[in-house]
Amino acid sequence: MSDVANLDRIACWLGTEWSEQQRALFIEYGEWLAGEAIDAGGIGPREGERIFDRHIADSLAFALLIPDRASTLVDVGSGVGLPAIPLAIALPELSITIVDRSERRCSLAARALRILGIENVEVRVADVDDLEGTYDVVTFRASLLPPNATRTFVRLTDLSGTGLLALTRRERAPEVPEPPTGVIFSVTSEGVGVLDSPAWILRMQHTRFTEEQTDDVRRHDSCHS
């Protein structure tokens, strides 16, 4: 399937339409991942044949659970920009911070951003434990285990914040530990019938949230190609 057809399927899944600029950026980033990122060790050497499903579409699964009200997002352990860069292309109104303790991976992500001309993303070389401030959304693409991710979520968000942790791409639902006091967990499977296997995402919220906040989540159409 061509890159354009893949993008059409992803847009349908997300219930959106891409501008020509967004299409071009997704394709250019996919080409960069398949070329420079693989050569630099940013993603595995066998990933070239499944860039859109396992990296770009997989990253965009987070977009379905990001509240409309969100304006800031921090991506912990982003590596070469996953899921941060696909989210930055899809949601240009978000101010996104990439945090990774590897200077080499951060340099690669920063290079990708320069090539693409994306300006709503900041790259920071740091350990997440040293990060300060609060964000509306915290994302983790398999960078931390649930207990550590939950502690980071609690520290980096206020009571209306959301944490999103990618758990697995297996067919069966993963086991998830009980949440700590003050946090609610919910697990969703995104991309069924669109991705080659579902993306299971753990959503973290503070116990003190309103019904309005719960409903204020991006929804997607049920159309599939």
Q: Where are the domains of the chain?
A: 3-215
Provide the pLDDT for residue 1. 57
Provide the pLDDT for residue 220. 44
The share of the chain scoring above pLDDT 70, in percent, equals 92
Residue 219 scores a pLDDT above 50 = no
Provide the pLDDT for residue 13. 93
Pick the CATH number of 3-215 from 3.40.50.150, 3.40.1670.10, 3.30.2130.10, 3.40.50.12280: 3.40.50.150
Q: Average of pLDDT values for 184-211?
A: 88
Q: Average of pLDDT values for 79-86?
A: 96
The sheet with strand 121-125 has its strands ordered as: 121-125, 95-100, 72-76, 137-141, 162-168, 199-206, 183-190
The share of the chain scoring above pLDDT 90, in percent, equals 76
Q: Measure the CA–CA gap between 135 and 99, rounded to whole angstroms.
A: 13
* Prediction pTM value: 0.90
Name residue 121's amino acid: V
- pLDDT tens digits for 4-60? 788 998 999 999 999 999 999 999 999 999 999 999 988 988 888 889 898 999 999
Provide the pLDDT for residue 216. 52
Residue 217 scores a pLDDT above 80 = no
